[in-house]
Structure 1
Amino acid sequence: MTSGLLLEPIDTPNSESSNSGQHFRPYSSANHHVTKGRYITSNDPRGYIPVYEYPLNNQWIMLDMDDGYVLWTGIWKALGNSKADIVKIIESQPDIASKLRRVRGGYLKIQGTWMPYEVALRLARRVAWPIRHELVPLFG
C-alpha cells in the first residue's frame, strides 16, 4: 500500500480473527459518530460480524473490524440508488464477483453485499462523489 493507506491494521496477537490478528479502524471525524457493533449471523464462520458503523441518509455504513470488508449496500443506498443497480455493477466487473460476500437473512442492518476495503474504495472513487465527505471515517 501507499502512504495514503486509509485503515491501519492494529496488531492483536490474541485475536479470534481468522485474518492473522489484524483489526481495522475508521478515521476519526468531528462530524460523524462511529460506534461499534456485533451482529450474530450464520452467514459468517465466526458466527457474528464485529463492525464499526454510523448512519448516513437512513442507511448504515459498516466496516468489519476483523477483515476490513465494507457493506457496499449501505453506501450504494445512501447514494439513492436501488439494490438492483449493485447487480449491474458486479456484472460489469466480473473480476470482483469472486471477492464479494453476501449476507442474506438475519439482522436487516448487516444484509447486503460486502466487499474488500480496496474494492469498495475503488468503486467509491468512481460513484460516490456526492457523499465523499460523509465517507471520511471509512476511507479517509
Structure 2
Amino acid sequence: MPASCTDPAGAGPRFRPYASPDHHVTKARYITSNDPRGYISVYEYPLNGQWIMLDMDDGYVLWTGIWKALGNSKADIVKIIDSQPDLASQLRRVRGGYLKAQGTWMPYEIALRLARRVAWPIRHDLVPFFG
C-alpha cells in the first residue's frame, strides 16, 4: 500500500515516499502538454543514471526510469505492454516537454506488481516508493 494521506483541502489522495536513509528524494514540477494539468508534480531520485519518479497527485510511477535502471532497453517496455493488452489502457505515455519526465507512466498498484516480478536486483533502491 502506498504511503499516502488525504489532502486537507479535500483534493483526494496525495502520495508520499517512504523514508530511506540511502536515498535523497526531492520534489519537482515538469511542464508537459500530455497532462490535463499542464505539468506533473513528482517525487524523484536518481538511480543508476536514471530518474525514478512518482506523481504526487495520482500515484503514477515512471516505469521507464525503473526499467532502464535495471539495465534494460526501452524497446523491452513495448514488449511487456504488447503482451498484456489490458495494461495498455491504463498507461500514460509522456512525449515532448522535459526529457526527464518522458516515458511510460503507470498506476502505482500496477508498477508495484511489475516491480515485484522484474526488479529484484534493485528492490532496496525502490524502497522510497514501494516500501
State the TM-score bracket (shorter-chain normalisation): over 0.9
Query: Which residue matches 2:40?
Result: 49
**Structure 2: gaps (5+ residues):** none
Q: 1:11 aligns with which of 6, 29, 32?
A: 6
Q: Does 1:130 align with 2:121?
A: yes
Report percent identity of matched pairs: 81
In structure 2, distance between residues paired with 1:136 and 1:12: 23
In structure 1, distance between residues paired with 2:47 and 2:40: 20
* Residue deviations 1:53-101 (CA, integer Å, cap 9, x gap): 0000000000000000000000000000000000000011111110000
TM-score by length of 1: 0.90
Superposition deviation, residue 8 in structure 1 = 2.9
Amino acid at match of 1:116: P
SS at match of 2:52: strand
Query: Which residue matches 2:50?
Result: 59
**Stretches (4+) displaced over 2 A:** none
When the two chains are superposed, the root-mean-square deviation of aligned CA atoms in Å is: 1.0
In structure 1, distance between residues paired with 2:75 and 2:7: 38
Query: Which residue matches 2:94?
Result: 103
Residues 89-100 of structure 1 mapped to structure 2, 5 A cutoff: 89-100=80-91
In structure 1, distance between residues paired with 2:26 and 2:100: 14
TM-score by length of 2: 0.96
* Residue deviations 1:4-44 (CA, integer Å, cap 9, x gap): x2x232222426xxxx4210001000000000001111110
Query: Which residue matches 2:105?
Result: 114
Amino acid at match of 1:63: L
In structure 2, distance between residues paired with 1:27 and 1:104: 28
